Structures are given as structure tokens and as C-alpha cells.
Amino acid sequence: MLVKIVEKIADEIIQNKEYLTELDRVIGDGDHGVNLARGFEEIKAQISSYSSLAYSDIFQKMGMTLLTKVGGASGAIYGTAFMSAGMYCKGKTELEKEDIVAIFKAMIEGVKKRGKASLGEKTLLDTVLPVYDLLQHRLEQGEDILSNTEEIKTVAKQGMESTKDIIATKGRASYVGERSLGHIDPGAASSYMMIKVICEEIK
């Protein structure tokens, strides 16, 4: 299941590389989509070897590929996120629902540490943190955390779109200051695409 999700995420990013690059062209270096697609093209090329790997090794391999092939901030951030997930999964042969929430938390903490960012700073965290909060709330309430995937997608989309109303203070986008208003953060968009694919695959 995880390998299939990884492959579908790769397809989504590759198909949307021009859109992501255009978002980044307005407020950043203009290379987010192209760079991220390069990393996921490499992941797709390696995907046949993933089926024999443990969960931790899949995440670690993804992370290392993105770190080495993507370059720039997005490679470092996404690479760190997936490697953080891999570290959490060490020794696990099955993933329970609480593990999914914990993986999310590990990835977020990795991103925060690497990017020195937090909620409300026009980054991918504005997409991911509200989703984590929703899943954590469901877990605490004893609910099925993966039920109602439409709500998860909606929360992620709202988080992504909220970045239009934020003045960037992190990364290259911070250089354009108030001119970043009205534009979706490319990292928030790419992370939304990943969450959307996961929801569609587990539905």
C-alpha cells in the first residue's frame, strides 16, 4: 500500500511540475516544481526496489533521494521530513493508526527544525499542521482517524489557500515581502497534492 501511494504521489508532483514552478516563479526562485519533479522522477525509477524494503527504509530512501536530487530548500525540507518518518518507523513491521499520527508529527518536527518555521509563516506547515491537528483530535476521541477523507482533503486545501493571505517571512519568498500576498505558497501546494493523493488511495 505504501509503495503504491509513493508512486501515485510521484505521478501527481510530476504532472503538476509546471503549476508548482509557476507558483514559485511569482514569489520564489521559480524552480519548486521542476526540482521536486526531478526528485520524484528518480523515486519512480527506483520504485521497483521499494517493495522489498521495510517502512523505515522506504522513507529513508525517499528522503535521501530528495536531499541529493532536488537541491535547494525544497529538497532539504522534504528530504528531512521523509527521513524523520523513517527514523520513527525503525523496527516497525506494521503501522497502526496511532503510528500514522506519530509519523505526521515526526515529519512536522523535522520540517520545523530544518526550516525554522511555524504555522502562519506561508510554508507547507500551513497545509500540514491543520491536518495533523484533525488526525490527533480524532485519535484522542477514539474515532477512526482515516474515515471521512473528504474532510481531511478539505482541511488541507483550506490550509494551502490560507497562504494567500500571509506575507512570507521564510525562504526566498520573504524577499518579496508584501508582494507575496495573494499568492499560494508552492510548498503548501505540493504538500496539499501529497495529502490529496494519500486520501484518494486510502478512501
Phi-psi region of 116 (alpha: psi -120 to 50; beta: other; left: phi over 0): left
In one letter, which amino acid is 8? K
DSSP string, 123-157: STHHHHHHHHHHHHHHHHTT--TTS-HHHHHHHHH
Task: Please tell me the CATH code under which domain 1-202 is placed.
Answer: 1.25.40.340
pTM of the model: 0.92
Domain ranges of the chain: 1-202
CA distances from 166 to 28, 139, 155, 180, 182 (A): 15, 30, 17, 8, 8
DSSP string, 38-65: HHHHHHHHHGGGGGGS-HHHHHHHHHHH
| pLDDT tens across the length of the chain (203 residues) | 899 999 999 999 999 999 999 998 887 778 899 999 999 999 999 999 999 999 999 999 999 999 999 977 889 999 999 999 999 999 999 998 899 999 999 999 999 998 888 888 889 999 999 999 999 999 999 999 988 999 999 999 999 999 998 877 656 555 565 666 778 999 999 999 999 999 999 87
